[in-house]
Amino acid sequence: MAGEQSISGEQAQPGQLIELATLPNLRDIGGWPTADGRVVRHGMVFRSTALHSLSDDDGAALRALGITTIYDLRTAKERTEAPDLVIGERANLSLDVLADAARDIPAKLHEVLVDPVVVARMNAEWTRGQGAEHMSESYRHYVSLPSAIVSYQRMVDGLLGEDPAALLIHCTTGKDRTGWGAAVLLSALGVAREDIYREYLLTNDHLLPTFTGLFEKFAEAGGNPEVLRPLLGVDARYLDQSFAEADRVWGGMDEYLAGCLGLDDRARGTLRDRFLQ
**Could you give phi then psi for residue 55, rounded to 5 degrees?**
-80, 165
What gap in Å lies between CA 51 and CA 196, rounded to an integer? Answer: 24
pLDDT tens digits, 97-120: 999 986 656 556 555 555 666 666
The helix/strand/coil state of 166 is strand
The type of residue at 112 is: V
Give dist(CA 37, CA 209) in Å, integer: 35
> What's the pLDDT score for residue 127?
61
Rounded-to-10 torsion of CA 97, 103, 53, 221: -160
Q: What is the dihedral of CA 35, 39, 43, 45, to 10 degrees?
A: 0
The H-assigned helical ranges of the chain are 4-8, 56-63, 76-81, 109-114, 116-125, 128-144, 146-161, 177-189, 193-206, 212-220, 225-232, 236-250, 253-255, 265-275
What distances in angstroms separate CA 107 from CA 111, 148, 154, one per listed residue?
Answer: 9, 13, 19
Give me the pLDDT at residue 2, please.
36
What is the SS3 assignment for 173?
Answer: coil
Output the pLDDT for position 103.
Answer: 61
Question: What is the predicted pLDDT for the residue at 220?
Answer: 76
Amino acid at 108: K
Q: What is the pLDDT of residues 150-193, one digit of tens each?
A: 999 999 999 998 776 899 999 999 999 999 999 999 999 999 99
Parts of the chain with a pLDDT under 50: 1-10
Residue 3 confidence (pLDDT)? 41
DSSP state of 46: E
How many residues in the chain?
Answer: 277
Structural domains of the chain, with CATH: 4-275 (3.90.190.10)
Sign for the pseudo-dihedral over CA of 155, 157, 158, 159: positive
**Ramachandran angles phi, psi of 46, nearest 5°:** -120, 160
